[in-house]
Amino acid sequence: MPRLASWIRPKDEKFFHPILAARPEIELWNAAQKPGALAEMDGLLLTGGNDISQELLRQPVPDPSVLEEGDRPRDEWEFAATQNALERGLPILAICKGMQLLNVTLGGTLRLDIPGHNLPEQKNHDIQPLRNDAGARYRFAKVNSSHHQAIDKVGDGLVVESWCATDDAIEQMQRPGKSFCLAVQYHPERGAIYGRLFADFFDRMNSI
């Protein structure tokens, strides 16, 4: 049985439960409840959450007041899990904060506070228009993207596939190679149009 490692907050469980329930062959290890051995995971799901702790960012922070309070234990676990998954070539799906954490792990930086991307109506409704690269495997006209930080310098090996159509904030990246490694700023767990992302991610885990 493939083992999926993640850190899912209690308030987000309602979004991921039906997705995982449809794939009973996948065993979830939720490190928010009980960490599993990283050497035994078969895939990594990086989910949304508060800002990365300031101490773990690899860039200057001129105005710390723009940052949300971080969760240091979670961040340390996720950085370790991401490095482990990258080194082993495991499938990775990174969502919202997860996309930012993957980017920082690979040497990238963040825009620490941006306007216009955390409006309440963006949280659960596919209303933000995207501009997609022609080669992107997953292309959506509009997404449910809600965040106040964004990618600045792109991490090593990551390729940008989608941008916000109104201000070019990066919304989707992948890391080309043999393993599945997709990072999205929007929230596929909150919408019905994103099923293929999870299906391909889980199928890749099953093939290990």
Catalytic residue among 78, 171, 181, 187: 187
Of 78, 161, 171, 189, catalytic: 189
**Which of 32, 26, 25 has the alpha carbon at shortest distance from 47?**
32
Could you tell me if 24 and 206 are in contact, meaning their C-beta atoms sit under 8 angstroms apart? no
- Give yes or no: 187 in active site: yes
| Pick from 139, 29, 47: nearest CA to 93 | 47
Look up 96 and say whether it is catalytic.
yes
Catalytic annotation present for 181: no
| Annotated catalytic residue, options 96, 164, 171, 181 | 96
Q: Is the distance from CB of 27 to CB of 4 less than 8 angstroms? A: yes
Sorted by sequence, the CB contacts under 8 Å of residue 130 that are 6+ apart come out as 139, 140, 141, 142, 143, 162, 163, 164, 165, 171, 172
**CA-based nearest residue to 88, from 26, 159, 178, 155:** 178
Question: Phi first, then psi: what are they for 183, rounded to 5°?
Answer: -130, 130
Torsion of CA 22, 24, 25, 28, to 10 degrees: 100
Instruction: Provide the annotated active-site residues.
Output: 96, 187, 189
